[in-house]
Amino acid sequence: MPWDLIPLNNGTSIPSIAYGTWTLGGGQWAVDSVDQAISVGFNHIDTAQSYRNEHEAGIAIQESGLSRSELFITTKYSGLNGLDIPTSIRNSIQNLGVEYVDLYLIHSPRLAVPDIPTVWSQMEQVQNDGLAKSIGVSNFNVPQLETLLASAKIKPVANQILFHPYVLSSQMPIVEFGNQHGIVSEAYSVLIPLTRQPGGPVDAPVQVIADRLNAKPEQVLLAWAKAKGVVVVTSSTKKERLDGYLQAGDFELTDEDIASIDTAGILGARRLSARTFLRRAAIAALVGAALLGACSYMGVNII
Residue 302 lies in a domain: no
Give pTM, 2 decimals. 0.88
Contacts of 61 (CB under 8 A, 6+ apart): 34, 38, 45, 71, 73, 96, 97, 98
Q: What is the pLDDT of residue 277?
A: 34
137: domain range?
5-276
What pLDDT does residue 272 have?
65
Residues 6+ apart with CB under 8 A from 131: 89, 90, 93, 100, 101, 104
Residue pLDDT, tens place only, 103-152: 999 999 999 999 999 999 999 999 999 999 999 999 999 999 999 999 99
Residue 55, annotated as binding a ligand: no
Half-sphere exposure of 198 (CA within 13 A, CB side): 5
Task: Tell me, yes or no, whether 291 lies in a domain.
Answer: no
Please indicate, yes or no, if residue 59 is contained in any of the structural domains.
yes
Domains: count for the chain: 1
Q: Pick the closest to residue 212 from 256, 262, 243 (CA basis).
A: 256
Is 265 part of a structural domain of the chain?
Answer: yes
pLDDT of residue 2: 86
- The model's pLDDT over 169-191, given as tens digits with 9 standing for 90+, comes to 999 999 999 999 999 999 999 99
Q: Which of 211-225, 270-284, 287-301 has the highest mean pLDDT?
A: 211-225
Alpha helices in 41-115 (DSSP H): 54-63, 85-96
Helices (H), 44-191: 54-63, 85-96, 116-128, 142-151, 168-180
Mean pLDDT, range 283-294, rounded to an integer: 38
DSSP state of 277: H
Residue 25 has pLDDT above 50, yes or no: yes
Residue 289 forms part of a structural domain = no
pLDDT tens-digit series, residues 192-212:
999 999 999 999 999 999 999
| CATH, residue 144 | 3.20.20.100
**At CA 103, angle to CA 101 and CA 109, rounded to 5?**
125
Residues with catalytic roles: 51
303 within some domain: no
- Res 273: pLDDT: 59
